Amino acid sequence: MNIQIQLIFRKSENELTAIVRSSKFGIIVDIDGKTVSLDPKRYNHQCDFTFISHAHTDHLCKKTSTTENNHKILVSKATSLIAQARGYRLDDVTEVCDGFQLINTGHILGSRGLLIGNELYYTGDISIRERSFMKPADIPSAHTLIIESTFGRPEYVFPNLVEIIHKTNGIISEMYNLGVPVLLMGYPVGKAQLLATLFGHWDPIFVHDSIDKMNSVYMELGINLKDMATHSIAEKKGLLAKNKPWLMIAPLNAARSNFVKLMKQRYGAVTIGFSGWAIDRRYKFMMDLDYTMPMSDHCDFPELVKVVRACNPKKIYTFHGFSVEFAASLRKIGFDAESLVGINGQKGQQEPAKKQIPSSMPDELTLRLDHFFS
C-alpha cells in the first residue's frame, strides 16, 4: 500500500512552493512542477529526478537505471563510482542540473546534500567534523530543511576526534606490548578509509579483502591511502602469526562472522569497533566487540542543532533515526519542525533488524542498526 501524507508549505498565502511526501519509495518532493525522489529505497520512474546522496547501501537501490521519461539521476561523480564498485548500476547520471545544487555533506567521500531552487535543502547523512581527508559539510540557508536525525537525541554527544585517536593508540600500544593482534572495525566505505589514514602509521597493518576493493576506489579518487597487504595475501605469505602483533582493518558487519571467530581462535586477536552508537554502553555487547569508540561520520546531537541554526529554515522535516525526538527538541527551541516518520504514522523507512543481532536487543536500537551495515 502506498500511503502518502502530503505536507504542504506556502511561501505566501496563495503561492504553493513545495510538497514534501513520505512514500514507499522514500521522501519525494514536488517543486516547480518537478518531482524529485530523495535517496529512494525503490526506484520510482514516475519521478523526474532521483537524488542519491552517497554510496552507503541504505541509500542505494538495486535498479536506478532508466532511459524512460528523461528521468535524471542527480549524484556526485565520486558516489556513482563508489556505487558502481559496489555493484549498483547507475545510468543517466549528472552532477550539474539547472535548479539544483549538490553540496558537500562531509559524511563519506562524494556525499552530497541537494539544494532545490535555493529554497529546499535535503541533507542526506551529514557530518560537520573535519576527520583526516574528510572536510566538514557546507550548510546553505534555505526556507525548508529536510534533515537526517540518526543521532537526534541529546545523549548522543561524541568526544572529539583527537581523544578517540589517543585512546585507540593507547589500546593498540598495550596490545602490541602483549603481542596481541588488533582488528580495527568500521563500515567498509568511509569509516574503513578513515581508520586507514588515522592508524596507518602502525606496522604491520593489513586490510580485509572486501575493504581493499573500496580503498582502490578511494585512491582512484585521489585519497592517499597506505598500501596495505590484504588478509588473504597475508595468510598465504604467513605474515599473520600468534603472539606477534599486527593490525587489520576489517568490516564491522563481520563482528559476529566466521572471519572474526577465526582471527580470535587462530591469532587471539581483539576487536575495536568504531561507531557513533558506541555512546550506548549496550552496543559493545550487542556487537560482541572487545572495545568500542564513538567515532561517527554523522553529526551528534549538538552538531545537528548547529546545522539547523546555520541553515535557519522556516520549516524543518526530520527523517532517519531519532526523527520524532529530534523534531520535538527543535520545536522546544523555537523551530517549526516535524518528523516525516511520525507524521506518516508508520515505523518509517528504517530497515528491520538484521539477523546477526540478538533478539534480546532493545527495539529502539535494533531499528536503527541499518547504519552499521552500510
Report H helices in 221-322: 231-236, 258-267, 282-286, 301-311
Here the cell at position 120 is 529546499
Residue closer to Zn ion, measured from CB, 30 or 125:
125
Residue closer to Zn ion, measured from CB, 108 or 229:
108
Here the cell at position 57 is 547501501
Least Å from the CB of residue 70 to Zn ion? 28
Residue closer to Zn ion, measured from CB, 58 or 209:
58
**Residues contacting residue 52 through CB under 8 Å, at least 6 positions apart:** 39, 59, 60, 64, 73, 74, 75, 79, 80, 83, 90
Q: Which residue stretch of 37-45, 56-64, 179-187, 230-238 sits at the interface with Zn ion (rule: CB under 5 A)?
A: 56-64
Least Å from the CB of residue 60 to Zn ion? 10
**Residues contacting residue 166 through CB under 8 Å, at least 6 positions apart:** none
Report angle CA 297, 257, 42 to the nearest 5 degrees: 55
Least Å from the CB of residue 56 to Zn ion? 4
Residue closer to Zn ion, measured from CB, 17 or 296:
296
Residue closer to Zn ion, measured from CB, 42 or 266:
42
Cα(47)–Cα(36) distance, integer angstroms: 6
Q: Is 298 in the site for Zn ion (CB under 5 A)?
A: no
CB atoms within 10 A of CB 151: 28
Least Å from the CB of residue 267 to Zn ion? 31
Residue closer to Zn ion, measured from CB, 109 or 248:
109
Dihedral pair phi/psi, residue 180, rounded to 5°: -105, 125
Supply the Cα-derived Rg of the chain in whole angstroms.
21
Q: Which residue stretch of 51-59, 160-168, 265-273, 304-312 sits at the interface with Zn ion (rule: CB under 5 A)?
A: 51-59
Between 118 and 137, how does the x/- string for binding to Zn ion read (CB under 5 A)? Answer: -------x------------
Q: Is 56 in the site for Zn ion (CB under 5 A)?
A: yes
Q: Which residue stretch of 49-57, 67-75, 171-179, 274-282 sits at the interface with Zn ion (rule: CB under 5 A)?
A: 49-57
CA 348 to chain centre: 17
Packing angle of the helix pair 209-220, 77-85 (nearest 10 deg)? 150
Q: Which residue stretch of 52-60, 78-86, 180-188, 250-258 sits at the interface with Zn ion (rule: CB under 5 A)?
A: 52-60
Q: Which residue stretch of 57-65, 219-227, 310-318, 333-341 sits at the interface with Zn ion (rule: CB under 5 A)?
A: 57-65
Contacts with Zn ion: how many residues (CB under 5 A)?
3
CB atoms within 10 A of CB 66: 15
Least Å from the CB of residue 125 to Zn ion? 4
**Residues contacting residue 201 through CB under 8 Å, at least 6 positions apart:** none
Least Å from the CB of residue 307 to Zn ion? 15
Q: Which residue stretch of 117-125, 135-143, 207-215, 343-351 sits at the interface with Zn ion (rule: CB under 5 A)?
A: 117-125
Least Å from the CB of residue 105 to Zn ion? 9
Q: Taking a C-beta distance cutoff of 8 angstroms, is the pair 189, 214 a contact? A: yes
Least Å from the CB of residue 371 to Zn ion? 5
Here the cell at position 357 is 543481532
Report H helices in 147-208: 161-178, 191-198
Between 68 and 107, how does the x/- string for binding to Zn ion read (CB under 5 A)? Answer: ----------------------------------------
Q: Is 39 in the site for Zn ion (CB under 5 A)?
A: no
Residues at the contact surface with Zn ion, assessed by CB under 5 A: 56, 58, 125
